[in-house]
Amino acid sequence: MFGLTNAKPHLALRKPSLGTVFTGVNSTLLDFTDATGLYQDQTLTALTAAGQSIGTVLDEAHLGYGPERITNGDFSSGLTGWIEASTAPSYVSVIGGVATWVTDGVNIARLRQAITTTVGATYLVSMSGSGVPVAIGTTAGASEVVAFALNNARPSFIFTATSTTTWFNCSIAANGATIDNVSIRQVLGIPSVQTANNSRWKWRTLPSGRGYAESDYVDDAIPLTLPTAANGELVLIGPNGCWRETRLAALGTSVTIGPTGTATTAGIVKALGGLHAVAYKQGGFTAAEYQWLCRRYGSKGPLVAGGELVSNGDFSSGLTGWNQVIGSVTATGGRLRVSRSGGVIGRAVSTAIPCVVGKVYQVTFDFYIGTLGNADWYIGISPTSSTGLIHAQGDGVNGRASFVFTATQTSHYIGLQASATGTDGQYTEYDNVSVKPLTPEW
């Protein structure tokens, strides 16, 4: 992974031994088990203690840098490669091998350089000096990508390129400001950067010392840019177990990991108790690779399903095990059909599903949008109310729902219903309803 030295000259590399798990494929690995490679923000403020927010996580699957993009960053050749665009009488001069601002304190001295970048790629900027505001933009003098105040002995920050030409801009009217050792290189791999302070996960440690990322389960999210939109698999590894998520083909390359994330089955992040690591691989991981990831980064093994808890989930025995709450509920053609009737939705609720408080359960079923064009379901806390732990919908196409929940009481209920909009007689159908407890394999 990457780590800052005490002097912070630049990001140092620590290549992990990953064998062939990530070799030669589009893949990503975010590791939260220690603070190395974790930063509090986009300007790479080192994460030094448990409880601090995680703003940037570097990709451990592909560590390294591309070639240097800045010309004459150490100013050993004067201002060769740089554009000075100062307002007289102020100017920038190389004094003792350091770019130095010589100004009247009023007029601005400016120094710039354009580099070639790849849109969407991440770049590391490092430099030394004092008192010079640094800006990254798509045009000369612009700062729409990054604006940074150079106040430290040797700061670093990263940015994501939005144009094929990117400008490194410095400008100030203060006399005596300096800059030196400017470097911009592409960071190989795909870091995760959360720019919103209130959406950053917190870094915590277990009694064993193993680190993990903790969510507030409200709006915290880990943005993840997948290297390809092709079919792949996401593995989430947490203190309570490991989970494989393979339904990624239709999500494109931009997903989020969180309570309402696009990449994860609803509820799994909370069920895992946080994240030790996140791994993605185009085409998916083999069974052996999945076990290896769980053992290397996890505290417990893969979550495996136990025995069936739903009675008559395939509706082969009609409505046995299911109760009509409102509207019209029938067993039709081996499926549960819920229809609007009397101006209200149709809703069927399972008989009580026995649960253990704190245990994780997986729910799966097929839904058919029927004449209503959508489906609506929930995990309830009573047989008569739709108030519960999870409430979700499927719109537009038939599909298969798969999600998990953590039990908060000794009995829960599955509610399957028709939409709140529509006309009497319109229906939605369900089949193959299953609820199974999930237990770590080891």
Q: Average pLDDT, whole number, for the chain?
A: 86
Alpha carbon separation from 157 to 56, 124, 138, 146 (Å, rounded): 10, 6, 17, 9
How confident is residue 422, by pLDDT bands cut at 50, 70 and 90? confident
Alpha carbon separation from 62 to 124, 155, 226, 227, 428 (Å, rounded): 15, 23, 13, 11, 46
The arithmetic mean of pLDDT across residues 197-221, rounded, is: 91
The SS3 call for residue 258 is coil
The arithmetic mean of pLDDT across residues 424-435, rounded, is: 95
Task: Give strand pairing partners of 29.
Answer: 279
d(CA 404, CA 435): 9
The arithmetic mean of pLDDT across residues 373-400, rounded, is: 83
What residues contact 252, with CB distance under 8 A and at least 6 apart? 226, 229
- Res. 247: pLDDT tops 70: no
- Res. 137: pLDDT tops 60: yes
The arithmetic mean of pLDDT across residues 279-303, rounded, is: 90
Residue 6: predicted pLDDT: 27
- Res. 147: pLDDT tops 90: no
How confident is residue 266, by pLDDT bands cut at 50, 70 and 90? low
- Res. 69: pLDDT tops 90: yes
pTM: 0.76
Are 145 and 137 contacting, i.e. CB atoms less than 8 angstroms apart?
yes
What is the CB neighbour count within 10 angstroms for residue 338? 29
pLDDT, tens digit, 9 for 90 and up, residues 345-373? 889 999 999 999 989 999 999 999 999 99
- Res. 7: pLDDT tops 50: no
Residue 160: predicted pLDDT: 86
How confident is residue 21, by pLDDT bands cut at 50, 70 and 90? confident
Domain ranges of the chain: 15-63+195-301, 65-187, 322-440
d(CA 125, CA 46): 15
Cis amide prior to 89 (ω within 30 degrees): yes
d(CA 23, CA 311): 46
How confident is residue 161, by pLDDT bands cut at 50, 70 and 90? very high
Same fold, 65-187 and 322-440: yes
How confident is residue 150, by pLDDT bands cut at 50, 70 and 90? low
- Res. 384: pLDDT tops 90: no
How is residue 421 annotated by DSSP?
S
Looking at mean pLDDT, say which of 20-34, 191-205, 305-319 comes out highest: 305-319
Listed range (59-63, 214-218, 326-330) with the worst mean pLDDT: 59-63
The arithmetic mean of pLDDT across residues 372-395, rounded, is: 83
- Res. 50: pLDDT tops 90: yes
What sign has the CA pseudo-torsion 113, 116, 121, 123? negative
Q: What class is the 322-440 domain?
A: mainly beta
d(CA 284, CA 234): 8
The more confidently predicted of residues 297 and 7 is 297
d(CA 364, CA 387): 20
Is the domain spanning 65-187 CATH 2.60.120.260? The answer is yes
